[in-house]
Amino acid sequence: MADSGLLIVVSGPSGAGKGTICDALRARFPQVHYSISMTTRPPRPGEKEGVNYYFTDTAHFEALLAQDAFLEYAKVYDHYYGTPKQYVYDALARGEHVLLEIDIQGAMQVRKHYPQCLCVYIVPPNRQVLAARLHGRHTDSEEVIAGRLQKTQAELAWMKEYDYVIVNDRLAAAIEQMEAIIRAEACRCARNGNTLSRICAAYQE
């Protein structure tokens, strides 16, 4: 029997480099994959059921909510988004690592349902670097950027609720740190009960 995989929860401000680091992590660990969320919004062009999202209607989503079927959920602009428990638990039982890139509110919901999850917060070294990155994307107005910076400052108090923090000053170093965290956590005795049993059995006379 395989030991359970890792549930990896990654948070951080917009512009922290979360997506780039997570993509690099998946390239280095074939057994790491993103969880597929469920949503009540209509599919966008090119999106596929069971690949990008599980698409459903509001009534079905709310029925699942009543059954406590989500690790975390949120309602954004009249549409629900959530992480189905069963999908994640099935993958973990197969020994696969599941990656969730979500906000702090969602991360704390996941921790409540699955306390053994691994929570990593990624943040640029200072406000000036974050501002430069946000401006460099050329996707947001000055008003939006100011709002993101203010939100980040308010969220920093939550870092102590995470298991690890990665200061993304140099991307290559941040990726190496993320890889080291996953490799170390995967070797924890507390996560490898079946492996420990097999080792002990192998040394029996």
CATH, residue 21: 3.40.50.300
pLDDT for 14 beyond 70: yes
- 48 annotated ligand binder: no
Q: Is residue 147 part of a domain?
A: yes
% of the chain at pLDDT higher than 70: 99
Range of the domain at 147: 7-35+97-202
Q: Is residue 51 part of a domain?
A: no
Q: What is the structure's pLDDT at 203? A: 95
Residue 11, number of CB atoms within 10 A of its CB: 25
Q: What is the structure's pLDDT at 3? A: 87
Question: Long-range contact list for 46-52, CB < 8 A, 24+ apart?
Answer: none
Q: Is residue 12 part of a domain?
A: yes
Q: What is the tally of structural domains in the chain?
A: 1
9-13, 141-145, 164-168, range with the lowest pLDDT: 141-145
- 82 annotated ligand binder: no
Rounded CA separation 105/74 (Å): 9
Q: Specify the pairing of strand 118-123 against strand 7-11.
A: parallel
- 50 annotated ligand binder: no
- 13 annotated ligand binder: yes
- 151 annotated ligand binder: no
- 136 annotated ligand binder: no
- 95 annotated ligand binder: no
- 19 annotated ligand binder: yes
pLDDT tens digit sequence for 75-85: 988 999 999 99
Q: What is the pTM of this model?
A: 0.89
Q: Is residue 74 part of a domain?
A: no
